[in-house]
Structure 1
Amino acid sequence: MKKVLIIAYYWPPAGGPGVQRWLKFVKYLPDFDIEPIVYVPENATYPIIDQDLVNQVNKNVTVLKQPIKEPYKLASIFSKKSTTTISSGIIKAEKKQSFIEKILLYVRGNFFIPDARVGWVNPSVDYLSNYVKTNAVDVIITTGPPHSMHLIGLELQRRFAVKWIADFRDPWTSIGYHKELKLTDKSAQKHKDLERLVLTKADTILTTSYTTKLEFAEITQKPIHVITNGYDIETIEKPAMDQKFTISHIGSLLSKRNPHILWQALNEILQENDQFRSDFQLQLIGKVSSEIIDTIKEFKLDAYLNVLGYVSHTEALKYQRSSQVLLLIEIDSFETIGIIPGKLFEYMAAERPILAIGPKQSDVEKIIKDTNAGKYFNYDNLQEVKQYILDCYEKYQQNNLKVHGIGLQYFSRKKLTEKLAGVIKNI
């Protein structure tokens, strides 16, 4: 049985999408004759907490923990609200940022490279060096962001000549928020240099999207495997469908994920259709930017709005399965064409029609089309979005709103873990 040391930052009780990928891989790796050993912070300051996920940790897996000093704790002295918002990934438009927020972003981008957890690298290398000396480890896997986790793997590989897999849940320097960090030219170049170093030194690279694979292939000749996120077979009681025509978004809605064409389409339908007004509900579950709420109010949708905030992963799955239509929104930018949100696969498993809006020629568009999971629109498709909502509403009135997915089994967490196990065994 091969032993793999997995170095991660996000781990239960952390909530949100960052924790799901390796929580599930660790759950299923033993089924493929691989023993995972997990190394995570002991006292991390996670922006989202989900105690339900603690119960999903494989009880037979060794979990190593070491303390971490979080700079966000110090930053919260100046503004707890701003610090929490930034650490959860919500960055306001520059013209709406306070002076404190601008300072926090500048410090985050230029004093903590590659990220705010870089101070955990050296203590982790020392601790894990002692562990590896006395415990046989066949492969090290680092997962980022935060990409400082890769720097731990880089040094352990140098010291012990152990095989190293670098897993990128998101891109590094090309991700949308990177340019929001007010980087100096020197800092931006340092990010590029570290990215190149990791990509050329790791034995194998994992990405979650096909676009990111193509991007990285321009930098490195090392093997790159696409292993997307996926869905698990969750044993939760199937909830009753909403009586309302509920359109739900589940997950963080950042400032730039603000689809005016959707709000306008809904506004027009509400003005034109009396019955729709009595049936419709817009439901937002998770962290939502205040700018999104302001825009919804501008389009006079706030009377139909239900904002629930963050809920546990278990509750999120229930809302997915009870909603009539599920929203998937991505920033309209070239940098986001390779972003495949983890919730896409849970949406697909919920067997509810997906209404997705994002950039042209994205990986998400291809997956939705190939699986027949819903419809994907660009930001200039106002009339098409409006018509799709009306089509879904008509089927809802007929009690016949459903989708018939194709090939969803290839995105199950266990199937994806089988693919991962093959990469580990062949490295």
Structure 2
Amino acid sequence: MKYLRDFGFEPVLYLPETPHYPLTDPDLEREVPENLTVYRSQFWEPYAWARLFGRKKAGRISSGIIQRRNPGLVERLLLWARGNFFIPDARKFWVKKAVRELPGILDQEGITTLVTTGPPHSLHLIGLELSRRRPNLKWVADFRDPWTEIGYHSAMSLGKRARRKHRELETRVLGAADRVMATSQVTADSLGSHTPRPVAVITNGFDRQPARGDQPDGAFVVAHIGSLLSGRNPDALWQALATLLRDTPGFREDFRLELTGLVSEEVMESLREHGLETHTKIHAYVPHREAIIRQEKAQLLLLLEIDSPETRGIVPGKLFEYMAAARPILAIGPDGWEAADRVIGSGCGAGFRYGQMDEILAQLRQWYDLYRKGALSVRPGGVAQYHRRELTGRLAKEILWELSSDNPS
């Protein structure tokens, strides 16, 4: 959106007036271009109802923190209701009102191309209905995460009816959209099996000048920025760090683990079990500018994903912020994780599976030895392609301009 004007497109936004989000960042709001046309509408959401069962539990679920070890009855009930009644998600109540309001906006602004971005995947249902009513409207369905193959569906105890409904809606969206986008090749391949059209891969990115990559001053800080969910609990990493604390001279004095954002209780239990709690500092959520500073001051950056085949195609936006920070990235995730392949391929760090404790330990030792010598630097290659202006240029050239030339209006 920020760079679309550079490529000849004027964005118009249609947004909820007061959406429920667990976290917001005023820093990112200031990046919105000036004089942008924005339409807002008030939508009903079920989160106030969910908080009747417990504000803390409802807030944790909406933030993505799912307790995987012995979740309580209330939490299981909320997850089951979320998965089986709110299909495809809790924003399903936006659809009818949006479909009533958007035709007038499309006419008033002379809009010929609509882009829906999910999740929430309910937004794609808005595009589906508008494309049915307006055959000349060009529609791009942008998948920032998978739909039916998203990892957390397994925690929601979806019934057969719910699974069938999710698949049916996804197939209808993929069949009707003029173009489909995904943020990873794995997700694109999965979506492509349900549509005859090619699925474009346009990843997330960063929006700043990349750092130099020299070793920063200070302690041997291993940092994770963002929510650390229950499923992203790398026990092998905690074992490796505990081994270094026990066996490596100087490591106990140099090492600090910094976790910025929401941290699940399961992760905290693991840290205590491995004797890492006294070396760990937890920070509340911080604005984007401060998160960048913390990334660049860390010696190592952790990139973690749930160990599941469904998460192989999750390539988080955080990866590209890490790349721009130019600090070594330690990626731990499922076998065949695309994000880890991108880390290794760009020379930004190393990637491992959850059970590779010995390999993780060896890599940490290598990086710590370089740190002691003042030589823990990063010189990545090919990172410029992930700048958001470059990515916007690809979006304009490969999708938007093509649709504009095809559109008779």
Q: Which moved more, 1:245-254 or 1:96-105?
A: 96-105
Code of the residue aligned with 1:129 in structure 2: it is: P
Q: Is residue 108 of structure 1 aligned with residue 82 of structure 2?
A: yes
Q: Is the 8 A contact 1:288 1:309 kept in 2?
A: no
Q: Equivalent residue for 2:407?
A: none
Alignment of 1:131-280 (within 5 A): 131-161=105-135, 162-233=137-208, 241-280=216-255
Alignment of 1:252-401 (within 5 A): 252-401=227-376
Q: Is the 8 A contact 2:330 2:351 kept in 1?
A: yes
**1:214 is paired with a residue of what secondary structure?**
helix
**Offset at 1:359?**
1.3
**Offset at 1:135?**
2.6
Code of the residue aligned with 1:424 in structure 2: it is: L
**1:115 is paired with a residue of what secondary structure?**
coil
Q: Equivalent residue for 2:73?
A: 99
**Offset at 1:234?**
5.7
**1:64 is paired with a residue of what secondary structure?**
strand
Q: Is the 8 A contact 2:228 2:264 kept in 1?
A: yes
* TM-score (structure 1 length as normaliser): 0.91
**2:335 is paired with a residue of what secondary structure?**
coil
Q: Give, in whole Å, the separation in 2 of the partners of 1:415 and 1:215.
A: 25
**2:114 is paired with a residue of what secondary structure?**
strand
**2:376 is paired with a residue of what secondary structure?**
coil
Q: Equivalent residue for 1:426?
A: 402
Change (3 A) 1:125 1:117: same
Q: Give, in whole Å, the separation in 2 of the partners of 1:426 and 1:322.
A: 43
Where does the alignment leave 5 or more consecutive residues of structure 1 unmatched?
1-25
**Offset at 1:106?**
1.3
- Deviations for 1:254-287, whole angstroms, at most 9, x for unmatched residues? 1011111100000011011231000000010111
Q: Give, in whole Å, the separation in 1 of the partners of 2:258 and 2:367.
A: 16
Residue 53 of structure 1: which of 6, 17, 28 is its match?
Answer: 28
Code of the residue aligned with 2:96 in structure 1: it is: N
Q: Which moved more, 1:187-196 or 1:52-61?
A: 52-61
4+ aligned runs moved over 6 Å, structure 1: none
Q: Is the 8 A contact 2:210 2:325 kept in 1?
A: no
**2:10 is paired with a residue of what secondary structure?**
strand
Q: Is the 8 A contact 2:239 2:274 kept in 1?
A: yes
Q: Is the 8 A contact 1:76 1:83 kept in 2?
A: yes
**Offset at 1:242?**
4.9
**1:283 is paired with a residue of what secondary structure?**
strand
Where does the alignment leave 5 or more consecutive residues of structure 2 unmatched?
404-409
Code of the residue aligned with 2:216 in structure 1: it is: M
Q: Give, in whole Å, the separation in 2 of the partners of 1:221 and 1:334.
A: 24
Q: Give, in whole Å, the separation in 2 of the partners of 1:273 and 1:213.
A: 44
* TM-score (structure 2 length as normaliser): 0.95
**2:380 is paired with a residue of what secondary structure?**
coil
Change (3 A) 1:189 1:380: same
Residue 382 of structure 2: which of 399, 402, 407 is its match?
Answer: 407
Q: Is the 8 A contact 1:239 1:321 kept in 2?
A: no
Q: Give, in whole Å, the separation in 2 of the partners of 1:344 and 1:181.
A: 27
Code of the residue aligned with 1:397 in structure 2: it is: R
Q: Give, in whole Å, the separation in 2 of the partners of 1:306 and 1:365.
A: 26
Q: Equivalent residue for 1:62?
A: 37
Q: Is the 8 A contact 1:203 1:223 kept in 2?
A: no
**Offset at 1:372?**
0.4
Change (3 A) 1:42 1:200: same
**Offset at 1:365?**
2.3
Q: Is the 8 A contact 2:215 2:375 kept in 1?
A: no
Q: Is residue 126 of structure 1 aligned with residue 109 of structure 2?
A: no
Q: Is the 8 A contact 1:242 1:323 kept in 2?
A: no
**Offset at 1:223?**
2.7
**Offset at 1:218?**
1.1
Q: Equivalent residue for 1:17?
A: none
- Deviations for 1:280-322, whole angstroms, at most 9, x for unmatched residues? 0001011111110111110000010000021111111111011
Q: Equivalent residue for 2:10?
A: 35
Code of the residue aligned with 2:18 in structure 1: it is: N
**1:390 is paired with a residue of what secondary structure?**
helix
What is the alpha-carbon root mean square deviation over aligned residues?
1.7
